[in-house]
A and B are shown apart, each in its own frame.
Chain A
Amino acid sequence: MTKEEVFSRLTEVFRDVFDDESIEISETTTSADIPDWDSFEHINLILAVETEFGVKIPMGKAVALKNIGELADTIIAMA
Chain B
Amino acid sequence: MLRQLEGSAAVAETVALCRPEVVCAYPISPQTHIVEGLSDLVRAGRLGSCEYVTVESEFAALSVCIGASATGARAYTATASQGLLYMAEALFNASGLGLPIVMTVANRAIGAPINIWNDHSDAMSQRDCGWIQLYAEDNQEAADLHVQAFRLAERVSLPVMVCMDGFVLTHAYERVDVPTAEQVDAFLPPFEPRQVLDPADPVTIGAMVGPEAFAEVRYLAHAKQMQALDAIPEIAAEFELAFGRPSGGLVRGYRTEDAETIVVALGSVLGTIEDTVDELREQGVKIGALAIKSFRPFPLEEVRAALGAARRVVVLEKALAVGIGGIVSANVRMALSGIDLHGYTVIAGLGGRPVTRKSLRALFERAVEDRLEPLNFLDLDRERVESELERMAAGGRSGPHAENILRDSGIVASRSH
Q: Is B truly associated with A?
A: no
Interfacial residues, chain A to chain B (CB-CB below 8 A): none
